[in-house]
Structure 1
Amino acid sequence: MSPPSHSPVIGWWQEREGQWIVYPLCSPGDSGKVTTVVATLGQGPERSQEVAYTDIKVIGNGSFGGVYQARLAETRELVAIKKVLQDKRFKNRELQIMRKLDHCNIVRLRYFFYSSGEKKDELYLNLVLEYVPETVYRVARHFTKAKLTIPIIYVKVYMYQLFRSLAYIHSQGVCHRDIKPQNLLVDPDTAVLKLCDFGSAKQLVRGEPNVSYICSRYYRAPELIFGATDYTSSIDVWSAGC
């Protein structure tokens, strides 16, 4: 597939190892401009298509890269774009896992594409995800600041959906390994919860050692604290109970 010349492209492409790499000419600060990329569908067969987005703004950042909010030009749908530095020597585990997951309580991967970095030969993977505005962490903090207790119905609804998502990923052999309120997205209008951030997730294989220094500190299961490397997906259940 060749990059089209008839679209309002803010950038240029180069093919590298079977993937089209976009070199955007506008930065996240140019929020009103339209950026068009050749992206691959998040689920199903690997099929590429043009995706244009605009109204870009930063909503999070960390050592992994950054998270941006954007709006798809065609549908006007809000999306979140997680941009992570990609090691060219390896496949991205988060991408591989998210492409196989399909559940109403897991944030959906819409598209993915690659982009260049500021440094030479720097490559970024961009995960285009459905946008969910709130997190359980921010909801809980809101009630705490107001010196109120979270209504028990919220607790029941959120926990039910969290364990539905865990039951599903565990049935697929996937352990999330970073369950915490910040990774539980919530739509305040519908109370729908979606599990996100599979950057630490792994397909566990019986007998294969795993790193023990995983999970955020306050949600880390006892076996991880004691350095176990042969653990199971039950560490997610412990984290959920915290």
Structure 2
Amino acid sequence: MSDSKPPASKDSTLQLSVDDEIATGKTIHYSAERIIGNGSFGVVFQATVEESGEIVAIKKVLQDKRFKNRELQIMRQLHHVNIVQLKHCFYCNGEKPDELYLNLVLEYIPDTVYGVARQLQKAKQYMPVVLIHVVKLCDFGSAKVLQKNEPNVSYICSRYYRAPELIFGATDYTTAIDIWSLGCVCAELLLGQPLFPGESGVDQLVEIIKVLGTPQREEIEAMNPNYTEFQFPQIKAHSWSKIFRSRTPPEAINLLSKMLVYDPKRRVKPLEAAAHPFFDELRQEDLKLPNDVPPPALFNFTLQELSQVDVSTREILVPVHERNSTNWPVLEDGTWPDAAAQGTS
């Protein structure tokens, strides 16, 4: 896409006129309403498409002309109900002659999990009719495609949610770091505050050890085989049940205990976590939310996703009443065809 000069305004960064090549050369005008996020990466605006009235989010980041933008490359490949949709992208010049900005036009999501959690804490007796619908991942600024034998940067991820192997300096980590981060987010939703509120990298490890206890030598080697310092004070692990409130569901605590494990290979896999008994209530037939309305789509797994788990896990993820009602392509042996057989990408 190419960009045209923004119209004169008090703040020209808030008005953009874009020649959209995808839309057969039509010009799209975006009028930004307010800033909804900012940081070292850049700034995010809530904007309106003037031609249609559609509300979008525009993430504006400074682009290094020497490199392709990794976030853009990744988002162009991602098409999933739980991932914010990339609608368009365009470049514009900055105030300085050599500045170039990439603008990602994204599906607008009005709430964050953090914001919803605060609402739950502040108004437990009163809930809006529809408080939460579908959770979507929206920030891939630090994402990358993992390549075998290619070292990665260990200083990644916001501190409170950093997996211990990152703190130990691992550069060959796996997607298990995301399971750890997810466990930290889920624990924070239950506690109302971060589970591991470290003030520095070292202090972050101390906070983790306070809960999980001192890692064993084999656990340290599993996190980073090249780590040679094994001098840690011996601290016993806390019981998970003592960390959370007494009314916390035991199944929720059990699920977290499978996510927050030192050894990355022993952490629960994503779809295994989705099949955990903690979510059994959501798999009941004729389920209704507390406000007596049906839940959002819960079983819209792709065949590619389902092909990654065994038959027993698939049968938990998509209960029989759902398979019968939506004509899932089940084989005679009770399994689903794999993704390749279905032509799923």
TM-score normalised over the length of structure 1:
0.68
Deviation for aligned residue 1:141: 1.9
> Residues 86 and 125 of structure 1 are in contact (CA less than 8 Å); yes or no, is this contact kept in structure 2?
yes
Q: Secondary structure at the match of 1:194?
A: coil
What percent of counterpart residues are identical? 61
Partner of 1:141: 118
Aligned pair partner of 2:158 in 209, 212, 216:
216
C-alpha change, 1:28 and 1:207, in structure 2 (3 Å) is farther
Partner of 2:41: 64
RCO comparison, higher one (Cα < 8 Å, 6+):
1
Supply the distance in 1 between the matched residues of 2:24 and 2:141 (Cα, whole angstroms). 23
> Residues 3 and 17 of structure 2 are in contact (CA less than 8 Å); yes or no, is this contact kept in structure 1?
no
The two structures, once aligned, show a CA RMSD in angstroms of 2.7
C-alpha change, 1:28 and 1:224, in structure 2 (3 Å) is farther
Partner of 1:106: 83
1:118 and 2:99 correspond = no
Which amino acid is the alignment partner of residue 77 of structure 1? E
Deviation for aligned residue 1:102: 0.3
Q: Secondary structure at the match of 1:37?
A: strand
> Residues 116 and 131 of structure 2 are in contact (CA less than 8 Å); yes or no, is this contact kept in structure 1?
no
Partner of 2:178: 236
Partner of 1:182: none
Q: Deviations over 1:37-87 (max 9, x none)?
A: 12355xxxx976422222532222112211101111222110000000000
Deviation for aligned residue 1:35: 3.7
Supply the distance in 1 between the matched residues of 2:139 and 2:10 (Cα, whole angstroms). 21
C-alpha change, 1:55 and 1:224, in structure 2 (3 Å) is closer
> Residues 162 and 181 of structure 2 are in contact (CA less than 8 Å); yes or no, is this contact kept in structure 1?
yes
Which amino acid is the alignment partner of residue 22 of structure 1? S
1:38 and 2:19 correspond = yes
> Residues 5 and 16 of structure 2 are in contact (CA less than 8 Å); yes or no, is this contact kept in structure 1?
no
> Residues 209 and 230 of structure 1 are in contact (CA less than 8 Å); yes or no, is this contact kept in structure 2?
yes
Which amino acid is the alignment partner of residue 37 of structure 2? G
Supply the distance in 2 between the matched residues of 1:98 and 1:25 (Cα, whole angstroms). 29
Aligned pair partner of 1:88 in 65, 75, 79:
65
> Residues 29 and 56 of structure 1 are in contact (CA less than 8 Å); yes or no, is this contact kept in structure 2?
no
Greater percentage in helix: 2
Partner of 1:225: 167
C-alpha change, 1:189 and 1:78, in structure 2 (3 Å) is farther
1:22 and 2:1 correspond = no
Aligned pair partner of 1:207 in 141, 149, 152:
149
Supply the distance in 1 between the matched residues of 2:85 and 2:100 (Cα, whole angstroms). 23
Q: Secondary structure at the match of 1:203?
A: coil
Deviation for aligned residue 1:208: 0.3
Q: Deviations over 1:170-224 (max 9, x none)?
A: xxxxxxxxxxxxxxxxxx5661111011000000001100000001111111110
Deviation for aligned residue 1:133: 0.2
Q: Secondary structure at the match of 1:198?
A: coil
Q: Secondary structure at the match of 2:155?
A: coil
Q: Secondary structure at the match of 1:104?
A: coil
Deviation for aligned residue 1:21: 3.8
Partner of 2:318: none
> Residues 83 and 126 of structure 1 are in contact (CA less than 8 Å); yes or no, is this contact kept in structure 2?
yes
Which amino acid is the alignment partner of residue 89 of structure 1? R
After TM superposition, the structure 1 = structure 2 runs for residues 173-188 of structure 1, keeping only pairs within 5 Å, are none
Q: Deviations over 1:4-54 (max 9, x none)?
A: xxxxxxxxxxxxxxx6243323458479x964212355xxxx976422222
Supply the distance in 2 between the matched residues of 1:108 and 1:221 (Cα, whole angstroms). 27
Larger Rg: 2
Greater percentage in strand: 1
> Residues 22 and 116 of structure 1 are in contact (CA less than 8 Å); yes or no, is this contact kept in structure 2?
no
C-alpha change, 1:225 and 1:49, in structure 2 (3 Å) is farther
Q: Secondary structure at the match of 1:94?
A: helix
Which amino acid is the alignment partner of residue 75 of structure 1? S
